[in-house]
Every structure is written in C-alpha cells, then in structure tokens.
Amino acid sequence: MIISGKNSVFEAIKSGTTINKISILKQGKGFEQVIELAKQNKIRFEFVDKAVLDKKSGFHQGIVAEIVDFDYSSVEDILQVAQSREEDAFVLILDGIEDPHNFGAIIRSAECAGVHGIIILKNRQIPVNDTVVKTSAGAIANMKIARVTNLNQTIDFLKDKGLWIYACEAKGESIYKTNLKGPVAIIIGSEGFGISALTLKKADAVVSLPLYGKVNSLNASVACGISLYEVLRQRNN
C-alpha cells in the first residue's frame, strides 16, 4: 500500500506503522523532520526524481511511503483503548460507507473527536486503501479500525459491554436533545441507503440532525463529524 504527503508519512512513522521504504523528491524542501525520524527508526529512504513519485502516486507532495497492508484491530482492541485511557468508550460504527473519500474524512473527524475506534463491515464497505489513507491526512495512523462480518451481533456485544447505541438517521429525536454521555457508539449509514433496517432496530435510540434548508440530507462524512462533536461537547460539559 502507498501513502503520500508529508503529514501522512510523518504520522505513519510516529505510530509505528511498518514501512518498507520512503521515496523523497530530490532537492525537495521541508522533509528534514521526516528524514530524521526515519533515521531514528531505521527506515530505508531514497531520493528520487519527480517522475518516479508520479508513477507511485498521483498526488504525492514530494514524498511517498510503501507500507504493508493496513493492520485491522479487533472490537476488543478498541474497547481496550478506552479502558487504558480510563475513559467511557466512544465508538463509531459505519454501516456500508462506499466512498473512499468519505471514509477517509470520517477517520480524520473521528480521530480529532477522540473516538477510540471505528467498526466497519467486511462486505458492503470500502476497505482501507490508498485513497482512504491519503484522505485521512495521517489520522488513520492513530485510529483503530475493526472489520466484522455481522454488524448486528457486534452491536449486541457492545451492549453487553455497557455501551448505548445511537443510530444517526432521519426522523429521530434531535441529537441536541439526547443525552449522549457515558459509553456510546454512533452508527452512520451508507451514502445512498442509510442504516439497514435490522441494524436500525438494534439501536437504543435514533437521533437526527435538524435540517432547515431545502436539501433533505447531509453528506455522510459531514453528518458524522457533527454527531461526533456533539458527543464530545456533552462529555466536556
């Protein structure tokens, strides 16, 4: 897998991601910190012409790293992060996100909001790929992501662990009037179909974002970001 851009490569090194090689633009500027960190971690790097980088990535900003395929975590690993931080679990569940740019943007918002991990489906969901990594702008290096076969069984498991499950979908209670404190998981549905009917029934409550314009829905990554920060706002009050 290829990751590109100074921030993404720097965060990958800091997080301990296994990197096979880093390619840096000859006479490129602003890479001193990345090079120093690569040396400290004994990661092989080389200086190459722009044409070499162009072949590896269409948008590289002068630096590209070749990494092993993304190492998915387990749901238990995600809950362990919350426990190790002595925080109430804060989990994001994605029910069928298919656009890699949306997925990458969601990962970035989740990492900024302090989410302990993201749960996705093995099927009907875009996996972590080069575009997702690039769009996350380095956030993916600090985010645990678990892939599961059965989302509804996973929700039952989270409930057994004490989490309240909130589905972000139309025609629910205003998210601003819902108590989101304590251990929670937020479900965000797919771009075209929303949350599946069976998964929606598994939720403890359905919450919605108020809409005042003529468009009747928000982009999945935008809705996700707003919802996560409402959880964060309530936790900090």
Q: What is the pLDDT of residue 70?
A: 83
- Specify the pLDDT at position 214: 72
**Strand residues in the chain grouped as ranges (E):** 2-4, 19-25, 45-48, 63-67, 90-95, 117-121, 145-148, 164-174, 184-189, 205-208
pLDDT at res. 38: 92
pLDDT at 177 (0 to 100): 95
Q: Please give the pLDDT value at position 81.
A: 97
CATH number, domain 2-67, options 3.30.530.20, 3.30.1330.30, 3.40.640.10, 3.40.630.30: 3.30.1330.30
Question: Domain locations in the chain?
Answer: 2-67, 75-235
Global pTM reads 0.80
pLDDT per residue, tens digit, the chain (237 aa), is: 888 888 889 988 888 888 889 999 998 888 999 999 999 999 999 999 989 988 888 778 899 998 877 889 999 999 999 999 999 999 999 999 999 999 999 999 999 999 999 999 998 889 998 889 888 888 998 999 999 999 999 999 999 999 999 999 988 999 999 999 999 999 999 988 899 999 999 999 999 998 888 776 788 999 999 999 999 999 998
Instruction: Confirm whether 2-67 and 75-235 share one CATH topology.
Output: no
The CATH code belonging to domain 75-235 is 3.40.1280.10
Q: Whose CA is closest to 44, among 19, 69, 61? A: 19
CA distance 204 to 202: 7
